Structure formats: C-alpha cells, structure tokens
Amino acid sequence: MEVTGLAAVLLAIALLLVVVSAVQPVARRFEVSETVLLALVGIVIGGGADLIIRSTYTGKIPSVAGTALNGVAETFLDFPVSSEVFLLVFLPVLVFQGALVIDVRRLADEAATVLLLAVVAVLVSTATIGFALMPFAQMPLIVCLLLGSIVATTDPSAVAGIFRDIGASSRLTRLVEGEALLNDAAAIAIFAVLLAAVTSHQSIHIGSAALSFVISFSGAIAIGVIGARMMLYIITALGNAPAAETTMTVALPYIVYILCDEVIGVSGVVATAAAGLTLSVYGPSTFRPQTWQFLNELWQQLVFWAGSLVFVLASMLIPRLLVGMTRWDVVLILIASVAGLVARGAVVFGLLPVLAWTRLAPPVPTPFKVTMVWGGLRGAITLALALAVTENPHVSTPVAHFIGIIATGFVLITLLVNGTTLKSVVLFLKLDQLSPMDQALRHQVLSISLEKVAERAKETGEELGFSTDATRSVIDALEVRSHEERSANTFDTALGDRQRVTLALITVANQERSILLDLFRIQGLSRRVMETLLRTSDAMADGARLEGRFGYVKALRRRLKPSMKFRIAQTIHNKFHYDKPLMAAMAERFEMLMVSHLVSLALARFLKDMMEPTLGTRVSEIVAETLSRQRKMLDEALLALRLHYPGYSEALETRIFRQIVIRLEAQEIDTLHAESLISDELSRELHKDVDRRRVRLDRRMTFNLRNNIETRLRGALIFKGLPAVALHDLAQTASLRFPSVGEALLKRGHKAHTVFFVSAGRAEMHVSERDIDYGAGDIIGAREAIDNSPMPGTVRAVRFGHMLAIPAQRFRRLVEEYPIVARNLDDLAKVRARSETSALEMVGTREPGPEPKGPGSMQYLSASRE
C-alpha cells in the first residue's frame, strides 16, 4: 500500500531527521563543515528524487519496490515547503536561540561593530552587487538590487559552528553571532521594499524607505523587550512551575514574530532577537537554575532540528531552482560573488578602522577581518527569499528565472568554496590559539593542578589496593607533565600585577555569580533579590574587565545604593505617609544585604583556598583588601537595619538557614535513592514531607517599618523629658530615611526644610576648614530649622544609616509645645563645643606623630569615607 498525504510528509520528515542525525558524526569524522555537508545531502536528495521520477529504469524494478521508490521521490519533490514555511516556522527558532545563548553584556561592547556588519554591510552589499550586475544581466536596476538584497544576508550561524569546532577566539565568535541576530532582519526589510517596487512597477523614495526602516527596527525592539518582560513577570507570578515556564519560552518567539510581521507591520526578526536577548539577560535570575539549564538544553535541541532541516529542505530546492541555467548565468554568478566579496571587504577593512579611531568600538585585528570577509557564507535564508520571488505570481517569468538561478549559484559558491576552506584560513591565521594571558594562565593552572592530581592518584591507588607497578607509570606521567608545564610557565613574567589583579577580580565576580546561582536553588529566596544580585555581579565582572580594580569597586558601590524601586517607595512614604511600598522594598533590601553577606564570607574562603595558590600572595592580598572593604560596607548597611529591626533580622536569618537545611535534606534523600539504600516509594514519601515544610517557609514575612523607633527616640538626649504621648506621635507621623554613603541630606545655602534625627549611621558637614561629625543620637539641621536660616555647609552621609526625618515646621511646633527640646538642644551644643575644644587641646599638646584614628580626627573621617 502506498503512503500518501500527511502520513507521507511525516514519514519524509522522520527520514530527514535520521539523515541529519547521521550527518553530524560523519562531518566530525571527516573534519568538514556540518553545514556544507547538509547542503550537499539536500542537493543529492532533491536531484536524486528528480532523477528517479524522470528515469525509465524504475519500471524494471518489481512493482511494490518500484511504486514505493516513486512514491518517496514524489514526496520529496512535492514536499509542502515554501518560503513562508522557512520564514514562519524555522526562522523564529534560529533567531531566538541565537539571542538566548549570547553574552549580552560582552556583546554590548561590540554594539557598533555588530550594527556595522548587520546593517551597513547589507546595504553596501545590496548596492554593490546590484550595480555590478546591471551592465551584464540585461535586467532593470531595481531587479539587480533585489537580487543583491537576497544574497546580501550572510549565514553566520554556520560560520560560528566552524569557529566553535576548532576553538577560534571567543571575540571572533561573538562578533559573528552578534551579526547573525540582525543580519537577516536588515536584508529582509530591504528585500520587502524592493520586491514591492518590482511587483508594483513603482520607483522607490529613499527618504520614506529609510524612515520605514528605522520605525520597523525601533518598534520591533520595543515589542520584543516588552513581550519578554511580560512573560518573565507571568513566570514570576506562576511560582515554581518548570514545565509551564519552559513552554512559555517556546511560545514567546512565535508570538512576537507573527504579531510584528503579520499584524503590526514591523520586523518580526528584530522583535524575536530582542525578546531572546532580554531573556538572556534576565532569565538566569528569574528561572531556577535547574529550569534554566533544562531550558537551554531544550533550545539547543530545537535549533539542531530546525537548523539541520532548514538547510536540507532548502538545498533540496537547488536542482529545481537551477533548471534552465546557461553558461552566461555562470558568468553572472561569478560577477555577483566577486562583487559580494569586494563589498564585504570594503566595509570590514574600510569602516571598522573608523569605528576604532572614533572609539565607538574596540579595534578588530587584521586576522579577524580577513576571516570575517571570507566567512560570509550564504545559506537557507537566501534560498528562502529567492523561492519567495519565484513563487510570487506578480513577478514575471524572466525575473523569477534570473533571481532563482543567480541566488542559488551564489549560495553554492559560498558553501563549496568559502565553507570548505574557512577552517584552513582560521588555522593559517592562528586564530585557534590562546591569547598570551590565557596561555600563561594555562601553564600556571595545569602545573598546580597536575601536582594535586598526582598526589590524589597515589592516595587513591593505595586505598583501592592497586599494585605499585600498575600505578607507577600513570603517576610518573602526571609528574612529567607537571614538570613540563612548570618549566614552560611564564605567568609571573607575562602578566604584571595589575593584569593579575584584574584577572583575579573577574574570577571573583564569576565565582560570586556561581555561588548566587547555587543559593538560588533554595526555593523561597526572592527572585527579584536574586535578579538584582546576579545583574550586579555581572556588572562587577564587566567593570573589572574594562577598568580593573576601580571598575569593580564602582559597580559594587552601585549595588549597595538604594534601587529605583526603593527610592520611589521612599518618596511615596515621605509625601503621602503610605508605608506598604517602602516596607516591601525594605524587606527586599534586608534579604539582599543578608545574602550578600553570606556570599562575601564564601568569597573570602574561595580566595584563600583556590586563588592564592594560582595568583600568588601579593595579588591575593590586594584582592582580599578589596573584598574586606566590600564586607565592611555590607556590615555597615546591615548593622544599621539590625539595630532597629533585630526581631526581623533574626527571623530572616533563621528562615534562610532553615531553607539551606531543607535543601541539604533533599540532597541526602537523593543520594540515598541513587545508592539504592531506599526505594522509589520511600524516596517520594520523604520528598513530599520535605516539600510540605518548604511550602511553609515560602510564606512572605511581615515587616514592621516603624518597629523599635519609639524606643530609640526615648533614649535620645534631644527628646529627654518629652511625654510618652508626644514620643509615640512623633514615631508614628515622622518619615524614615535610609541614606546611602555619599548621599546629601541638606545642602549648603539652602534652608533646612527637614530635621534629621540620626538613629544609626554617620554623617558629616564641612564648615570653616573643619568637619562636624554626626553620629547615633545626634540631630541635624535643628538650630537652622528653628531660626529659619540657611545651612552653613552640605551634610552628607558617610555610612549607611537609619534616620527619622521630621519636617521643619513640625519640629518648630514641637519646640513651641515642649520648650525642654530647645534646652536639650542647647545642652547638646555645649557638650559638642567642649568635645571639640578638648580635641584641639590634645592636638596642640601632643608630640608630633601619626594622627590617632579616633572619633573627631580628620584621619578617622577620611578612613570612614574610604
């Protein structure tokens, strides 16, 4: 019985999946490009099917076998695949996964280079190829430009695969992958404008076309980002539902692509890329690590199927598209190929140096440029666009014939010539070798690691009872390798202290990210807190990479500053006395500081145990000092909150510790089950019990913003003698302020509209060549508020603090109602004056020597600011 209809199509797809599965190991074994081999397989299938249908010899085959063979050939020849299938089914998957796996923060440094390759290069290639063909093709310029736009879209995904296989420079791979994100979008946008002009026989208006191009790109970026952020918000609201979360990521690229392409009329490719990049940035901090890992593995599998099938199916069309090709067509194909190579070379060698000269992008080495020019392979998208022209009923037959043949021949030349020689070019230019820094680090790491491996191998051999003769050769080989690496080690001479410190800080930031992801596995920790911490750890790594130690510390200080959400909640609290947003923000900040404190302790151990043997004592001491400053700032910020919210602090610590213990318990159950010490039924029952206790811990803790405020006010000298009613009213009606280091509380020359009671923290004001220091229990701006006079200097916080903000009018009314406040204020002023006089007398009578770091000394204040 002959298989027909949908069953025949599904059977053909299944057979193609078997074929592409076999292609991957064959390509690896013979060291050829997988993309090139897939294209050849597709051509063989398409050409073979056509040959079987036309052949008269199939009639001599027995009836059942001959009928089956003809049925398979007809299925492949009449396979229901069109340009729309390529662009709607396969393209969103390829673009989204390419954006998902890319390092967005590293790509941001190359943004100008990527835009040049993805947009400018496409425009230049379109124009160059179109004008080069026009004198010889006997076709209108608009048709030649249409062909130019079709073959201008490169297929960097195939090139990136070659680079990864041979271990090419990560920066080169990143540039090519970045180009892949927007290259197709630019070419498809230009193609749509030119095809409309060809079918409608109208001229193109450059201004309106450029405006449409910009609107299409910018609108698509906005929709892609908004769509991805909405999906992440929904995932956060769903809680822990891995299957639903993964399913939503599969739906996202198709939603934004079709919505933009079919409904709104902007670039679906750009929207899909923007959604993928957004998910790449925020995904690790939104999804649980195990879900994120599974999600990436799923998308790798999807892109393998889509990428392989799209190449085979597109290549199957090549014999059909080349029907009727003449010798003159071969000449035109060669002209177009040379023009495309010249155009790409002009952009890469002519414009990239301009970007480097204007400092819009880092310089690109010449070997990189050569590889990028030669690596301009064309693939499935070019064939899909050519097929779209041949399928369009409004395109004349000569134009369709011209587009189909020249575009297909162009693809074949790039695949069979550039694709087969690209690996040799990369190896010849030595782009597969490590950088001098990585090479030096390799010798350093291996020399230390092999010594440890040799020691552990010897101990393991003795424990397992292996004979000395059996273990000696293996251990001797390890020791010989360790000696060779130690002899070749140039780590101390190849890298200066500054480079090693930078390398150490990047490593520390990456280790912090790993620790945070490990902590994120604990269900119950806030996704939003983890998102903030992971994002800032990436910023610290980027800061260290760009500006060394200064960049790392700068990014760290940005982490400790209140977030935009916190500042908005603070404003709502101050203006409208509505506390709920600030309470939620404070709870998140408390958790963020607590988790950061735990991570800082882990980093100190990591530095001591793992990095000091590799980088040396001197570099470790410098990094340790940087980490100690980080820990000091964290402790100050955390202490200011712990002083006022000791109950919440203890409850939060207990909760986090319980979550850690529950995770350890779950791991122990998994270990017992893996070692067959407990049955499947018992394992499920024990996990149910663990889950029940975990759910109870997932409930959010309540945070009382005004807790302990009245107690602190009662112990302050400025409010001594106030009745309990007045203290309670002040604690409930005044606003709270949590200043960060360096924040200006009151400005010089401005009237004090707010009086600050320092509950915790430190602030200072510089007046007449001296610093006035404010600590816990002091009040700032009180005298100026009473006198309605301007501030003599700017008051800035020098430590994280907790302050009560009292409106000046409210404070004046308090002084009028309770004169004892004014007397207390005078007493405090006298005490401060006597302290300053005593300090000056001690300075005058002391023998010359180093300044003591005591309260009130300039050196102490300087140390506090640092």
Residue 207 tokens read as: 């201004």
Residue 792 makes CB contacts below 8 A (sequence gap 6+) with: 748, 765, 767, 784
- Asked if 787 and 812 count as a contact pair (C-beta separation under 8 A), the reply is no
d(CA 559, CA 595) in angstroms, rounded, equals 13
- Asked if 407 and 144 count as a contact pair (C-beta separation under 8 A), the reply is no
Whole-number pLDDT of residue 858: 26
Residue 23 tokens read as: 């292609």
Q: Which of 509, 584, 472, 545 is nearest to 109 (CA)?
A: 545
pLDDT tens digits for 144-169?
Answer: 999 999 988 877 555 666 666 665 66
Residue 252 tokens read as: 């996202």
Q: Where are the alpha helices (DSSP H) in 322-467?
A: 327-357, 366-374, 380-391, 397-413, 419-428, 436-464
DSSP 8-state secondary structure symbol assigned to residue 734: S
Whole-number pLDDT of residue 437: 64
Whole-number pLDDT of residue 490: 64
Whole-number pLDDT of residue 654: 83
pLDDT tens digits for 551-562?
Answer: 888 888 888 888
Pick out the chain residues at pLDDT < 50: 1, 846-866
Vertex 64 angle, CA 62 and 70, to 5°: 95
Burial 212-227 (b: 16+ CB within 10 A, else e): bbeebbebbbebbbeb
Whole-number pLDDT of residue 255: 94
Neighbour tally for 826: CB within 10 Å: 10
